Amino acid sequence: QKEVEQNSGPLSVPEGAIASLNCTYSDRGSQSFFWYRQYSGKSPELIMSIYSNGDQEDGRFTAQLNKASQYVSLLIRDSQPSDSATYLCAVENRDDKIIFGKGTRLHILP
């Protein structure tokens, strides 16, 4: 079982709609959870961090965490073409390692 799992996509969403990205993790001792955005040929950019169960909102982005289900999600409201990228879920496990999923490619359709 991989430590952090994501659907590779591509996930196609019409412009203006809500994009929903999901991630599961295996280490129940994990405490910190992150979403990174990576444009093609660029480095990962941190967009959201979440540490406790529930929702964390920042502008059009909402991160959701459910530790009992070992599940993290990212919602992007009012999706824009500029949101088209690969979204990487990352988890800090009990050994303080930040482990990444392979990412979900998101394509916003104009």
Binding site for another protein (CB under 8 A): 31-32, 34, 36, 42-46, 49, 88, 90, 92, 95-103
Nearer to another protein, 19 or 44 (CB): 44
Cβ neighbors of 41 (< 8 A, separation 6 or more) are: none
Nearer to another protein, 33 or 79 (CB): 33
Report in angstroms how near the CB of residue 22 gets to another protein at its nearest.
Answer: 16
- Closest Cα partner for 61 from 73, 74, 45? 74
Nearer to another protein, 15 or 53 (CB): 53
Report in angstroms how near the CB of residue 13 gets to another protein at its nearest.
Answer: 22
Residue 25 CB-density burial (10 A; 0-12 exposed, 13-18 middle, 19+ buried): buried
